[in-house]
Structure 1
Amino acid sequence: MSWKITALAPRLLVEAALIAHEDALDWDHDILISGSEVAEDQPDDWRLEAWLSRKPTKADKAALAALFATEVPPFVVEKLPETDWLVTSQQGLEPISAGKFHVHTPDHPASEDAGVVDFVIPASQAFGTGQHATTAGCLTMLTHMKAQGLVVRNAADIGTGTGILAFAARALWPQAYYTASDIDRVCVDVVSGNAAANGVPMGSGAGRITMTVADGMDHPLIAARGPYDLVMANILAGPLVALAPDFGAALVPGGHLLLAGLLETQEPGVRAACRRAGLRLAGRIVRGDWSILWLRKRPIR
């Protein structure tokens, strides 16, 4: 990506723009956007960033401006040096410790703490190094779910990215069956490479991870390997709402659903969709502005 557009605005304005982006059905997917705090000590000051592989056109800027319903902040457009910014953005990041897990890039050493599960995830073209608050929150929640006595025999990680959540679940429940999927084909090689680097076996048997390319739950393999007693999805609020009925249908009675990728302001809508699908809240974590939800399907009485 050789061009970037940046807008500085209050947190609520950027969050509203991110929600509008999710709802924009005609969005140009060559424009990737993200929102983040300007600094930890400035929680109400955010930036919206958009990356493009071409010089932004008037139409590109207009599409970004349309995300801001009330007040459009000034845009700063810059041409970036020819480098892999997806890789560079993740290099040198500090390791994180979340629940039972320690996640780091190859630039940092493994944890020496006893009882900690260590994963090395190199910078790649897929989401999920564990640095992001939602991924770290999921690792914390999985650790909590295990501590609460959850037993997993068959699990699915929808929108797996780098495979980190599937890897973590397998570390907690090593004899279960695992299905991982992503809409992006590049993730097949990413997950395979990360699995090899972390000693995680791929395949269809117990304790192994089967990877496929799928749009949400829509794939024969995902259907054939179900139903599941754990489904994980760290994606975006819009798809979580849309997929809630499919998640409910794919779970065994009493099964568990771990959701992330939603802002706390988006939580009511996601939870309402899950309630309609027969899922009830079992626990939640808030990391920064992000909610991580543990839901459970009604058991047969």
Structure 2
Amino acid sequence: MTTPLWRIALTAPARPADALSAALEPYVSALTAMEDAPGGTWSIEGLSEGEPERPAIVAALAIAAATVGTPPPDTVIEPLPEVDWLALNRQSFPPIREGRVWVRGSHVSEKRPAASIELVVDAARAFGSGSHATTALCLRALQDELRRSRPRRILDLGCGSGILAMAAAKLLPTARVVAVDLDPVSVATAAENARLNRTATRIRTGTSRGWRSRLVQGAAPYDLVLANILAGPLCAMAPELARGLAAGGRAILSGLMTDQEARVIAAHRAQGLRLIRRYRRDGWSALVLG
């Protein structure tokens, strides 16, 4: 029996949108914040596995609103109907090409482009189908990094359906990859996708809340860390990232919007990491730090 998904949704003026998004992040598994019109309101929406803590969410949003001097937002918290996630992904997941990496659903029969590395992915119910701009940015940053070095120990933190872990494993056949997520459904999906793409022997999957699991800690330090999650958790885990990187190692961080870059960079600069490169697309960012 699957765990029901719940939706938490609100709209806010541009000024408090970042504070409200940050307040909601700890209570959801996935979060989006989109500008409805330039200079206008923002739509903020989170998805929760299981019924969310309604009083705690309302209180957290009210406190965040008060800190920026705006009234508490009207918030909708409601269960979502059961959905055939695999069918939905098949409808909304066209093949994508980013550099040498070509990602397609198993339902797509067209041949891979010449000189490309193919990943066959059915995201099913896990977050992270790969169609999001941040995944494409991470794939681009990963390939650029591999022109500079050949990392042997790689961590995909918040692996979703496993696209970044599998891309790393295929681009670097001698590397060993650890892929973890706090969502067990995502971990199971990533493991199945790794088997489907014949990378399972080089990718170790597991459930982990950030850096806390034995799997993540036991394989450290890492030459390369991929973390396509959210701005808030990225900032909170900056000290662990700094400790978990090998000398000369680099991190590719995404899941953040362009106006959240300064916050994420500052949190990591405080841990001795510097910004090396940034990528932007459709209002989203990926940062390379080392």
TM-score (normalizing by structure 2): 0.82
Alignment partners' CA distance in 1, 2:51 and 2:163: 34
Match of 1:183 in 2: 182
Alignment partners' CA distance in 1, 2:268 and 2:5: 40
Alignment partners' CA distance in 2, 1:112 and 1:53: 35
Match of 2:45 in 1: 49
Alignment partners' CA distance in 2, 1:127 and 1:56: 17
Alignment partners' CA distance in 2, 1:237 and 1:124: 25
Change (3 A) 1:10 1:115: farther
Give 1:20 deviation, angstroms.
2.2
Do the aligned residues in 2 keep the contact of 1:159 with 1:180 (CA within 8 Å)?
yes
Give 1:221 deviation, angstroms.
2.8
Secondary structure at the residue paired with 2:119? strand
Residues 1:66 and 2:49 are matched in the alignment:
no
Alignment partners' CA distance in 2, 1:144 and 1:269: 24
Alignment partners' CA distance in 1, 2:218 and 2:80: 45
Secondary structure at the residue paired with 1:162? coil
Q: Which moved more, 1:220-229 or 1:255-264?
A: 220-229
Match of 1:299 in 2: none
Equivalences for 1:174-253 in 2 at 5 Å?
A: 174-202=173-201, 208-253=202-247
Give 1:284 deviation, angstroms.
0.7
Do the aligned residues in 1 keep the contact of 2:123 with 2:189 (CA within 8 Å)?
no
Q: Which moved more, 1:134-143 or 1:92-101?
A: 92-101
Amino acid at match of 2:123: A
Aligned structure 1 segments of 4 or more residues deviating by more than 6 angstroms: 52-58, 76-79
Match of 1:281 in 2: 275
Could you tell me which runs of 5 or more consecutive residues in structure 2 were left unpaired when the two chains were aligned.
none
Do the aligned residues in 1 keep the contact of 2:252 with 2:288 (CA within 8 Å)?
yes
Give 1:212 deviation, angstroms.
2.1
Amino acid at match of 2:184: R
Give 1:167 deviation, angstroms.
0.6
Secondary structure at the residue paired with 1:152? coil
Secondary structure at the residue paired with 1:192? helix
Alignment partners' CA distance in 2, 1:91 and 1:65: 35
Match of 1:114 in 2: 114
Do the aligned residues in 1 keep the contact of 2:96 with 2:131 (CA within 8 Å)?
yes
Give 1:278 deviation, angstroms.
2.0
Secondary structure at the residue paired with 2:274? strand
Match of 2:131 in 1: 131
Equivalences for 1:15-26 in 2 at 5 Å?
A: 15-22=18-25
Match of 2:143 in 1: 143
Alignment partners' CA distance in 1, 2:280 and 2:217: 31
Amino acid at match of 1:254: G
Change (3 A) 1:181 1:8: same
Change (3 A) 1:259 1:53: closer
Alignment partners' CA distance in 2, 1:169 and 1:123: 18
Alignment partners' CA distance in 2, 1:262 and 1:12: 17
Task: Give the CA RMSD over aligned residues.
Answer: 3.2
Match of 2:266 in 1: 272
Could you tell me which runs of 5 or more consecutive residues in structure 1 were left unpaired when the two chains were aligned.
203-207, 297-301
Alignment partners' CA distance in 2, 1:62 and 1:239: 20
Match of 1:166 in 2: 165
Match of 2:91 in 1: 92
Secondary structure at the residue paired with 2:91? coil
Do the aligned residues in 1 keep the contact of 2:62 with 2:71 (CA within 8 Å)?
no
Give 1:229 deviation, angstroms.
0.9
Q: What is the percent sequence identity of the aligned residues?
A: 37
Alignment partners' CA distance in 2, 1:60 and 1:224: 35
Q: Which moved more, 1:283-292 or 1:184-193?
A: 184-193
Alignment partners' CA distance in 2, 1:249 and 1:61: 32
Amino acid at match of 1:291: S
Alignment partners' CA distance in 1, 2:234 and 2:154: 17
Give 1:195 deviation, angstroms.
1.0
Match of 2:151 in 1: 152
Q: Which moved more, 1:252-261 or 1:222-231?
A: 222-231
Give 1:235 deviation, angstroms.
1.3
Alignment partners' CA distance in 1, 2:54 and 2:274: 45
